[in-house]
Structures are given as structure tokens and as C-alpha cells.
Amino acid sequence: MRKVEVHPYNENWPHLFAEEAKKLKHIFGDEVIVIHHIGSTSVPGLKAKPIIDIMPVVRNIDEVDKFNHEMEAIGYEPKGENGIPKRRYFRKGGDMRTHHVHIFQVGSDDIDRHIAFRDYLRMHETDKQRYGDLKEKLSQQFPLDMESYINGKDQLVKEIEEKALVWYRENRNN
């Protein structure tokens, strides 16, 4: 059973991302265009579950499945689309998750969604604080119920994501 744990921001998270990104670049080679650190561990000062979310952007999503054995060799479990069309998802660490890899093809709207959310929280302290406080409260309220924790965040995530996308589109072109 996975325990829901939210931790204060850890200065080591960007280093853990960079180490893993090197491994992924080695596996996917020229198929990868860029690798982004996303999710709560990518936002300095944000409380987070200590799981590094990584988003490689690839040239062709259909090529990714050819690398499943190499991903398994470094500890990842391939999960296919896992509920999001045109994504390839991998997780590492079993019930003690350490990394999630969300791979999208260049041009996917999901790329902007993740980048906008991350960058918005990096620049908007009040929403970052609200989000971190809610996650901490939910982790204490539902320490053994990941589904309730996720559902409890849903409304605020959607609210922030909507503001983030507007902000991102306005600022991306400046």
C-alpha cells in the first residue's frame, strides 16, 4: 500500500531529476528533443510527494514502446498510455515510488499544460502556497488513501491550471 507523504521542498530534487534525465537521454538518444522537470518537485519552495516527475518530449510517440526493455533495465515499469491518449508513462520504485516519466510527442497540448502549471507556480507565490498547504492537509487527512488525496486536489489543480494556461500563453509570446 502506498502511503501519502508530502514533504517540504528538498534542494536535492533538481539534482535527482538531472541524474535521471541523463539516463533517459542515453536510452532514447536522438528520439528525445528535450527533457523537462515537471510536477511539484520542480517548483522551488513547494511541498511535494518526493517523486520526481520527468517529461521527455520525443519526435515520435510510437517509437517509445521500442525502449521498454531498456527502461525496465533501469527500474521502470512501462504502463503505456495509462489513461492519457498519446502519452507513454513509466514509474519507478513500486509502492515506494521515486520517479514518474510522462513522455509526449512534440506538439502535444499536454506539454504546454505541464510547463504552464510548473512555471505559473514558480512565479505566483500565493497559489503555490495554497496548493502546498492543501496537499499537506490532504496527506494528513488521507495518509493511506491515494485516490482521496488526488480527488481532494482536483478542483484546485483545475483552477490553477486554467489560470496558468492563460498566463503562459500571454507570457510565452513576450
Distance CA 135, CA 60 (A): 35
pTM of the model: 0.95
Model confidence pLDDT, tens digit, residues 53-88: 999 999 999 999 999 999 999 999 999 999 999 999
Q: Which residues have CB under 8 Å from 24's CB, separation 6+?
A: 32, 35, 54, 56, 101
What is the pLDDT, as a whole number, of residue 2? Answer: 78
CATH node for 13-172: 3.30.460.10
pLDDT tens for the chain, 174 residues: list them: 678 999 999 999 999 999 999 999 999 999 999 999 999 999 999 999 999 999 999 999 999 999 999 999 999 999 999 999 999 999 999 888 999 999 999 999 999 999 999 999 999 999 999 999 999 999 999 999 999 999 999 999 999 999 999 999 999 766
Tell me the three-class secondary structure of the chain, residue by residue. CCCCCCECCCCCHHHHHHHHHHHHHHHHHHHEEEEEEECHHHCCCCCECCCEEEEEEECCHHHHHHHHHHHHHCCEEECCCCCCCCEEEEEECHHHCCEEEEEEECCCHHHHHHHHHHHHHHHCHHHHHHHHHHHHHHHHHCCCCHHHHHHHHHHHHHHHHHHHHHHHHHHHCC
What is the pLDDT, as a whole number, of residue 44? Answer: 98
What are the structural domain ranges in the chain?
13-172
* Beta bridge partners of residue 99, listed in sequence order: 52, 92
